[in-house]
Amino acid sequence: MDKQVDAVNPGDRIDPSASLEEKKDRVAVEYDDVTMNTNTVPTYFAVESENGNEKALHHVEDAEEISDVIRQARVDDSGERVWK
């Protein structure tokens, strides 16, 4: 039986037919915190893959790979972010 499970948040749904640009614009959830600052969680994070192409990582399905990308970020002596 091949049944798709509905996600709790509509933004969590994965649309394999969506283009990279459409994925970059998707928002999983947007909320105001206790300081009334608006926080936005994107559905997909666009990252550069090892072959130099851009790809979209889903914030739930690809969370481990997103964490790996974040760990690669470094800051140099002048405070500029340097990616390894």
Output 13 or 61, whichever has higher pLDDT.
Answer: 61
Distance CA 49, CA 55 (A): 6
Q: Extract the tokens encoding 68.
A: 């790996």
DSSP state of 35: T
Longest dimension (CA), the chain: 56
pTM over 0.85: no
Looking only at the bridges linking them, the beta strands covering 44-48 and 54-58 are antiparallel
pLDDT attached to residue 1: 45
Give the model confidence (pLDDT) of 21-40 as tens digits.
Answer: 999 999 988 999 999 999 99
